[in-house]
Structure formats: structure tokens, C-alpha cells
């Protein structure tokens, strides 16, 4: 009696397991795939693991021969040293943090507001010039900051923004990738939703703020993350030269270039610089992927 009961439980379970397997897949193929992916993942992650370990090594281990990949006696000395060095510079450490936070927050807010306003009309209204403008934006995605840096410098110089925060913050407002992702995501929003609101007498601003924006949360989370990553890594060395307006990453990398004596601190800098973008990505991964699902370029 008990035996048959067990079978009864087991059988449908097994059946389900088989049915759940995707079609067109062989078990050997899957196995080979797992092994291959694990190997590649190890290669990909190795430099990062190494960098983290280097930051945890005490000084004598950093110069040990033959070198070891993993820290034998991990300490946080390098981070402490880094903090001391930063504290001794003639601009207080907190000022660098403030600079970075200010640039990141202001730039991200602007990107979000300007980008989503433009994305809203580009996605949901048909007006002359709209499609052409969007095409221009997709071409502009290819121009990275390095290439337009020189004419940008001349323009910012004319505006008198050299050595101010605005030199970094304002150009960030028009980030093409932000607009692009927003627009593509908003296209997935049902037009009937907007039309219904229009019939109920809502103005364009109300539609934008109360109907469109709450419904594209994954998109603006993604824009925020990308924008934070870009601004965090932006050293802006060409536009800003006063010590008191430099960003945290710039200041940290100055320490890093301090030669052999700063090897330990340099390793710590590497970790501090990369921790923020990776962490933000991990926290928002599912929302970013949801947004990227609509990132396709249609012709």
C-alpha cells in the first residue's frame, strides 16, 4: 500500500521534470556547456578577484616572490592607509566625496527629467521631425566622450564653465543612451492608457507625471544606474583642475599613480572605485534586464 502511494507521488513529479526540459537539448551538450561556462567565468572574474585580494594583502605579501594570488593574512591596512593619505591632502576627504555625490546626483536627475520628457513625446506622439531626431540620437550613441572632447572643451570654454561642476553635469543631461532606453521602453506602454487619460481630461503634464512615469519604473531605474556608473567613473580631468572640485575617483587615481610606495593603497583604490558600479548593478539587475529587453533598434 505504502509502496504504491510512493510511486503515485513520484511518477507525476518525474514526468514534470522531463516535460520541463527544454526541447532541442541533449544532456551531454548541457554538461559541456556548464563546464565551458564555468571555465570562461573563472577567466573573466580572475582579474577582479586578484585585484580584491591584492587590496587585502599586507605590504610584505605584495612584494613576495613567488607572488601568491590569494592573500595569506588578509588585512584592511591598505584601506586604512588610504584613508590616512586622503585625510592628509590639503583638500579634506569629505570634499571629494561631496563633489562626486553632487555631480552624480545632479547629473542623474537632469538625465532622468530631460531624457524621459523627450522620450515620452518621441514614443507616444507622431510629430514632424520626431523620427529624424531619434535617428540622430542613435547615431550620437556612437560618439564617445573622448572624440567630442576637444570641440566640447571649446564650447564649454565659451560658456565659461571650465573648472565648474556644470562642465560635467549639463552635458550629462543629454545622454543619448538614457533617452534611447527610455523611449524604447515607453513604446511598450499601451497607447490606450494615454488616450483614456486624455478623455478623462488630463493635461499632457498630468499624463506624463501620473501615468507614464510610474509605469516605466524599470526604465528609469536603469537610466539612473547607467548614469551613476558613467558619472562615477568620469574623471573629468580635462574640464576640472582645481583640487577642491576634483571628483573622488580622480583624487583616488592620483594616489594610485604615486609609485611603488603606494602599491598597497593603489590596490585599495582599485577596489573602492569598482565597488560602487558593481554593487549598484547587482541591486538593480532584474530591472535593468527588463529595460534592456526593449532596447532593440528597429529599422
The DSSP line for 209-278 is IIIIHHHTHHHHHHHHHHHHHHHHT---TTT---GGG--HHHHHHHHHTT-GGGHHHHHHHHHHHHHHHH
Closest alpha carbon to 291 in 191, 186, 193, 209 = 186
Question: Counting contacts by CB under 8 A, is residue 166 touching another protein?
Answer: no
Among 142, 199, 260, 261, which residue sits at the site for another protein (rule: CB under 8 A)? Answer: 142
Considering only the stretches 99-107, 167-175, 193-201, 240-248, report the one whose residues sit in contact with another protein under the rule CB under 8 A.
167-175
The least CB distance from residue 5 to another protein, in Å, is 30
The least CB distance from residue 107 to another protein, in Å, is 11
The least CB distance from residue 82 to another protein, in Å, is 15
Among 104, 171, 186, 268, which residue sits at the site for another protein (rule: CB under 8 A)? Answer: 171
Rounded to whole angstroms, what are the CA distances from 71 to 46, 50, 150? 14, 9, 44
- Alpha helix (H) residue ranges in the chain: 2-20, 27-56, 59-62, 77-88, 93-124, 130-140, 145-159, 166-173, 176-187, 191-199, 204-206, 213-215, 217-232, 248-256, 263-292
Question: Counting contacts by CB under 8 A, is residue 149 touching another protein?
Answer: yes
For residues 249 to 288, the per-residue mask of contacts with another protein, x marking binding by CB under 8 A and - elsewhere, is x---x----------------x--xx--xx--xx--xx-x
Among 147, 160, 195, 244, which residue sits at the site for another protein (rule: CB under 8 A)? Answer: 147
For residues 209 to 248, the per-residue mask of contacts with another protein, x marking binding by CB under 8 A and - elsewhere, is -----------------x--x--xx----x----------
The least CB distance from residue 2 to another protein, in Å, is 33
Question: Counting contacts by CB under 8 A, is residue 299 touching another protein?
Answer: yes
CA dihedral angle for residue 115, residue 289, residue 208, residue 170, rounded to 10 degrees: -20
Residues 47-86 that bind another protein (CB under 8 A): 47-48, 50-51, 54, 65-67
The rounded distance, in Å, linking the Cα atoms of 205 and 87 is: 47
Residues 90-109 that bind another protein (CB under 8 A): none
Question: Counting contacts by CB under 8 A, is residue 17 touching another protein?
Answer: no
CA dihedral angle for residue 68, residue 72, residue 74, residue 79, rounded to 10 degrees: -30
Question: Counting contacts by CB under 8 A, is residue 297 touching another protein?
Answer: yes
Amino acid at each position: 500500500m505504502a509502496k504504491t502511494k510512493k510511486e503515485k507521488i513520484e511518477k507525476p513529479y518525474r514526468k514534470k521534470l522531463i516535460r520541463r526540459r527544454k526541447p532541442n537539448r541533449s544532456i551531454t551538450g548541457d554538461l559541456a556547456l556548464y563546464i565551458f561556462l564555468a571555465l570562461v567565468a573563472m577567466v573573466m572574474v580572475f582579474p577582479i578577484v586578484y585585484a580584491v585580494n591584492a587590496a587585502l594583502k599586507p605590504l610584505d605579501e605584495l612584494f613576495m616572490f613567488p607572488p601568491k594570488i590569494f592573500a595569506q593574512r588578509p588585512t584592511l591596512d591598505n584601506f586604512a592607509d588610504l584613508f590616512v593619505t586622503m585625510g592628509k591632502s590639503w583638500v579634506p576627504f569629505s570634499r571629494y566625496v561631496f563633489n562626486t555625490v553632487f555631480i552624480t546626483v545632479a547629473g542623474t536627475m537632469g538625465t532622468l527629467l530631460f531624457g524621459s520628457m523627450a522620450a515620452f513625446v518621441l514614443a507616444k506622439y507622431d510629430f514632424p521631425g520626431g523620427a529624424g531626431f531619434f535617428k540622430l540620437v542613435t547615431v550620437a550613441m556612437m560618439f564617445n566622450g573622448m572624440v567630442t572632447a576637444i570641440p566640447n572643451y571649446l564650447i564649454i570654454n565659451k560658456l565659461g564653465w571650465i573648472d565648474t561642476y556644470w562642465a560635467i553635469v549639463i552635458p550629462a543631461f543629454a545622454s543619448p543612451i538614457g533617452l534611447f532606453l527610455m523611449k524604447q521602453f515607453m513604446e511598450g506602454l499601451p497607447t490606450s492608457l494615454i488616450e483614456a487619460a486624455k478623455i478623462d481630461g488630463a493635461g499632457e503634464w498630468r499624463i506624463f507625471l501620473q501615468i507614464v512615469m510610474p509605469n516605466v519604473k524599470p526604465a528609469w531605474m536603469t537610466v539612473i544606474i547607467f548614469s551613476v556608473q558613467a558619472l562615477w567613473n568620469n574623471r573629468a580631468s580635462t574640464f576640472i583642475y582645481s583640487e577642491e572640485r576634483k571628483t573622488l575617483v580622480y583624487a583616488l587615481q592620483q594616489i594610485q599613480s604615486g609609485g611603488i610606495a603606494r602599491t598597497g593603497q593603489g590596490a585599495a583604490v582599485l577596489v573602492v572605485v569598482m565597488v560602487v558600479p558593481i554593487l549598484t548593478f547587482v541591486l538593480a539587475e532584474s530591472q535593468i534586464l527588463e529595460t534592456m529587453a526593449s532596447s532593440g533598434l528597429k529599422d
